Amino acid sequence: MSRKTLLILGLTALSTMFTGCDEGGGNTTASNDVGPTQATIPAAFFTTERPTEVADLIQIKPTAAVGDSVTFLARVGGRVEPFVDGLAIFTVADPSLLSCELMGEEDHCPLPWDYCCEDSNGITAGSATIRLAGSAGDPIAANAEGAGGLEPLKFVVVEGVVNERNDEGLFVIDATQIWVGGKPMRGNLRRGSLAGEENEGASTGDNDAETHASDHDAGVPHDHDGDGKPDH
């Protein structure tokens, strides 16, 4: 396995490491510490023009090979911490996977982008890692969260080139352009995925995120299906 592959696997804890509720995910609140590099992500990576007739991630992932140009629809998420601190890398999940805010009662899961009620095999099959690379080919040394409006749960259309993949679910895309949409809702699972719907959905508060992360660490169960019984 190449050194580059080991680096990517170590940084992102990709699909093969998705289990249950991503226990031990920790605090998702951005650090107040300023890193040594004040890099920024160029606006050229983002577009306000949504490509048309875009396939879902799960439709293109099985046959896409390293070096192929791909375009697909997905949503930011799949882990407790979908963004890598200090590097322009983040994870996305196929739209067919249900994040926790689309299940059960309102506000029952303050960290819904971890997809903790989905089957781990489904997450492995329906996930990808997106890199925003600089001229040298390495990820830009800046958090991707917030760039171009990126945040957990939002739809994205990613255009890029397959950098790495394997039979265990690894699927790494070097993005060339990203359209950032809105968020879905129960009863309208594709809301936010179309042009003109970029502002659909509201942000999740940091305090809720901290609470949910603490609950995961403590093994607190959640009732995602609203039946009054803990799911896990």
Q: Tens-of-pLDDT digits for all 232 residues of the chain?
A: 444 444 444 444 443 333 344 443 334 334 444 444 468 999 999 999 999 999 999 999 999 999 999 999 999 999 999 999 999 999 999 999 999 888 866 566 778 999 988 999 999 999 999 999 999 999 999 999 999 999 999 999 999 999 999 999 999 999 999 999 999 999 999 999 999 999 998 554 443 444 344 444 444 455 444 444 445 5
User: Is 51 a member of any domain?
Assistant: yes
Residues in the chain, total: 232
Q: pLDDT value at position 168?
A: 95
User: Is 27 a member of any domain?
Assistant: no
- Residue keyed to tokens 């009863």: 187
How many CA atoms are closer than 13 Å to the CA of 219, on its beta-carbon side? 0
- Based on its alpha-carbon atoms, the radius of gyration of the chain, rounded to whole angstroms, reads 17
Give per-residue pLDDT as tens, 24-83: 333 433 444 444 446 899 999 999 999 999 999 999 999 999 999 999 999 999 999 999
Q: pLDDT value at position 107?
A: 60
Q: pLDDT value at position 12?
A: 46
User: Is 30 a member of any domain?
Assistant: no
Provide the domain count of the chain: 1
**What is the distance between the alpha carbons of residues 139 and 127, in angstroms, rounded to a whole number?**
19
User: Is 171 a member of any domain?
Assistant: yes
User: Is 225 a member of any domain?
Assistant: no
Q: Quote the tokens at residue 125.
A: 């099959």
Q: pLDDT value at position 38?
A: 60
Is the Cβ–Cβ distance between 150 and 132 less than 8 Å?
no
Phi, psi for 114 (deg, rounded to 5): -80, -10
User: Is 29 a member of any domain?
Assistant: no
Whole-number Cα distances in Å, 85 to 30, 54, 151, 163: 8, 29, 14, 21
Q: Is the pTM of this model over 0.85?
A: no
Structural domain boundaries, residue 169: 3-21+41-195+205-217
State which amino acid sits at residue 128: A
Question: Which CATH number belongs to the domain containing residue 101 in this structure?
Answer: 2.40.50.200
Q: pLDDT value at position 171?
A: 98
User: Is 13 a member of any domain?
Assistant: yes
User: Is 96 a member of any domain?
Assistant: yes
